[in-house]
């Protein structure tokens, strides 16, 4: 079957709008990602006290869940993904956003993780998960030998929350 999808350019605009003492202090930054032909967009309800995998990145694609998580994630081709946004849609509860890192880059399981607080109504964004992250615990230095992001897991603590995930691939 031949695809009828025509690749397009994703335009992302980040804008802050604030006036202090009558002077605009915000900013606008826009960038484009060309040749996008796949969008993965979902609103996922993460049940209270349950770690939920919302996206998994592999060399192949399938529906999967990481160890100890609810299987609400689709495995996406990590080399095709160019943009990731995760937004906490809850208006009062924060979540822990865990970036699961495949340091061995062997398409099996995560070896390390980094966890960020994603406050209510806030977003986390990143580019490609392929060679896009690295965690080091032995020294606080700049790391240049990046590895693959294996998955994104949400820990909602004691609250059920809705999370929006938007991923663009070429």
The pLDDT tens digits for 19-29 are 999 999 999 99
- Please give the residue that has the higher pLDDT: either 74 or 12: 12
Q: What is the pLDDT of residues 109-118, one digit of tens each?
A: 899 999 999 9
- Give residue 137's pLDDT: 81
Q: What is the pLDDT of residues 132-166, one digit of tens each?
A: 999 988 888 898 999 999 999 999 999 999 999 99
* Whole-number Å distance between alpha carbons of 30 and 24: 18
pTM score of the predicted model: 0.89
- Please give the residue that has the higher pLDDT: either 64 or 125: 125
- Please give the residue that has the higher pLDDT: either 139 or 49: 49
Give the pLDDT band of residue 67 (cuts 50, 70, 90): low
> Do 36 and 7 touch, CB atoms closer than 8 A?
yes
- Give residue 147's pLDDT: 96
The radius of gyration of the chain's CA atoms, rounded to the nearest angstrom, is 17
Question: How confident is the prediction for the chain on average, in pLDDT?
Answer: 92
Beta strands 19-20 and 112-118, pairing class: unpaired
* Whole-number Å distance between alpha carbons of 91 and 102: 32
- Give residue 73's pLDDT: 52
Give me the percent of the chain exceeding a pLDDT of 70.
91
* Whole-number Å distance between alpha carbons of 154 and 96: 6
Give the pLDDT band of residue 64 (cuts 50, 70, 90): very low
Q: Where are the domains of the chain?
A: 37-169
Q: Domain 37-169, what fold?
A: Jelly Rolls (2.60.120)
- Give residue 149's pLDDT: 97
Give me the percent of the chain exceeding a pLDDT of 90.
79
- Please give the residue that has the higher pLDDT: either 104 or 33: 33
């Amino acid at each position: 079957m031949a695809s009828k999808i025509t690749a397009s350019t994703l335009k992302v605009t980040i804008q802050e709008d604030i006036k202090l003492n009558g002077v605009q202090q915000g900013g606008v930054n826009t960038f484009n990602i060309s040749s996008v032909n796949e969008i993965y967009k979902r609103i996922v309800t993460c049940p209270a006290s349950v770690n939920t995998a919302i996206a998994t990145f592999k060399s192949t694609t399938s529906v999967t869940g990481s160890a100890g998580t609810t299987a609400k994630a689709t495995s996406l081709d990590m080399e095709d993904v160019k943009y990731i946004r995760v937004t906490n849609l809850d208006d009062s509860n924060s979540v822990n956003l865990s970036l699961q890192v495949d340091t061995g880059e062997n398409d099996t399981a995560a070896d390390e993780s980094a966890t960020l607080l994603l406050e209510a109504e806030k977003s986390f964004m990143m580019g490609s998960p392929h060679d896009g992250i690295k965690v080091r615990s032995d020294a606080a230095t700049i790391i240049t030998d990046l590895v693959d992001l294996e998955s994104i897991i949400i820990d909602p603590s004691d609250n059920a929350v809705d999370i929006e995930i938007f991923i663009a691939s070429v």
